[in-house]
Amino acid sequence: LKLQGRSSSCAMASLAYKPFRLKDHANATRAVEDENWITTTIKGAEDQDKILRYDMKAMVKYSAMLTMFSKGTVFTMDNTALINVGVMLLLGISSVIFAIGISHGDMEPGGALATLDTMPLETLSSQITAFVPFVLALYVSLTLSRWWALRIAALGKVFDAFANISMIVSCELHDKKWLDLRNQVAKYGFASVQLLIQAARQKEDLQAMLDKGYLTSFEVRSIKALTDLWQRPMILWAWIMRICVSAFDHNKSPAPRSGAVMAECIQAREGMATINTYLDTQLPFAYVHLITLLVNVQNIVISLKSGFCFATAIPTGEYFKMTQQVLTLLLICFIYQALLQISYMILDPFGDDVLDFPMKAYGSYLAAIIEAMMEAQPHCPVVAEDGTLYRPRPRKARSNAPGSEPGDSRNGPIAPPAPSRGN
């Protein structure tokens, strides 16, 4: 890093970097957005589709029935629920065969099969079905709360700290001589996000830091010396704090501004620690196991009840009753299995499943707002001691030059608006 401030006792060599442009990152995801009927998806790190947004109005308009096979629904994101429902259907068919067997094949109306007592099974099914939804709803609510907290209270804090530091640095160190430092803060910020994702996935890819121009080979070697992946993004924020505070000292900026940068770096560290806490501190295993067991038992009882009730309707030809039992088995078992499926799909939102966080889109948004902050400085009005605003004046330009137009940067103060006649 080449700090272009006053000379200090420590000589600092300039580091050679691959050309880095924020605009390239801001446009990184726009070309790969795939707009479907209901959802808009982008490609993740492993070339997997991730939902960026969905059209709620279209889903309500065309109903969930017509959109059930869109990307990201319980029918398309994973087949675990469908497999479990198929197993329950086989269990129901087995119970039909068993009921016919214990009635010795008496298929006559009023015979053994038609008069088979299914009331105990129906009572047990009603009792379990009345209890399980409340317990499962609490569990699903907890998992959704954790998912939202990971986005807002954890990842959101890191993003906010990155954006806030970029705003402070670009406003306080807006001179051209600090361009290297502003770019370096951006590089370290994006590198910290990438290293954070690698830590969450437990997948190391330091070569990507070199390929994208975030870090040099020397910096990569320094980071690689730490084997714990959660340590690596912390290093980048320590570097951000140190170079910003040093630059503020060289610039003779007031101490509170350095304190604001330090506070944002601490906030980023807290956000990364929160992510680690949520991922490494799951809900109690005994509680989750009990919830899963209750759902499985409920599905089994529903399957057995539906199978026996279906069998008792065969001798009398009650086709509506048979259809109702089949639909009951399929719908109830699928709903409960789908809720369990959603709960484990969102447990770790840093992977490459369709419901996981679209980190490329988040990075593009960050790059766009940071670029806006840095590009806004050359055009920002200059404030005089008397409170007058001046247009930013190019160097070696004379004020009130001949041929200048009103509002031109050479015209000095910005004229206030003319008062209205009513004033």
pLDDT digits (tens, 9 = 90+) for 289-315: 999 999 999 999 999 999 999 999 999
Rounded Cα gap, residues 311 and 328, in angstroms: 15
Q: What is the mean pLDDT of residues 395-415?
A: 44
Question: With 80 as the cut, is the pLDDT of residue 401 above it?
Answer: no
Question: With 70 as the cut, is the pLDDT of residue 9 above it?
Answer: no
- 393 CB burial (10 A radius; 0-12, 13-18, 19+): middle
pLDDT of residue 396: 54
CB 204 within 8 Å of CB 229: yes
CB 292 within 8 Å of CB 76: no
Question: With 70 as the cut, is the pLDDT of residue 202 above it?
Answer: yes
Share of the chain above pLDDT 70, in %: 85
pLDDT digits (tens, 9 = 90+) for 323-361: 999 999 999 999 999 999 999 999 989 988 889 999 888
pLDDT of residue 2: 40
Four-CA torsion 378, 384, 389, 392, nearest 10 degrees: -20
Question: With 80 as the cut, is the pLDDT of residue 27 above it?
Answer: no
Residue 10: phi and psi, rounded to 5, are: -95, 120
Instruction: Provide, for the chain, the percentages of residues in helix, strand and coil under a 3-state DSSP scheme, each rounded to the nearest 5.
Output: 60, 5, 35
Average pLDDT, the chain: 84
Question: With 80 as the cut, is the pLDDT of residue 410 above it?
Answer: no
Question: With 90 as the cut, is the pLDDT of residue 109 above it?
Answer: no
CB 302 within 8 Å of CB 333: yes
pLDDT of residue 402: 42
Question: With 70 as the cut, is the pLDDT of residue 421 above it?
Answer: no
Question: With 70 as the cut, is the pLDDT of residue 6 above it?
Answer: no
Question: With 90 as the cut, is the pLDDT of residue 223 above it?
Answer: yes
Binning pLDDT at 50, 70 and 90, where does residue 394 land? low
Range of weakest confidence among 18-32, 44-58, 92-106, 111-125: 18-32
pLDDT of residue 390: 82
Question: What six digits make up the tokens of 109?
Answer: 């109306």
Question: What six digits make up the tokens of 30?
Answer: 């726009």
Out of 72-81, 298-307, 406-415, give the one with best mean pLDDT: 298-307
Amino acid found at 157: K
**What DSSP state is assigned to residue 44?**
-
Range of weakest confidence among 63-77, 84-98, 156-170, 390-404: 390-404
**What DSSP state is assigned to residue 31?**
G
- 252 CB burial (10 A radius; 0-12, 13-18, 19+): exposed
Q: What is the mean pLDDT of residues 144-166?
A: 94
Question: What six digits make up the tokens of 71?
Answer: 């990307």
pLDDT of residue 393: 65
CB 154 within 8 Å of CB 233: no
pLDDT of residue 20: 67
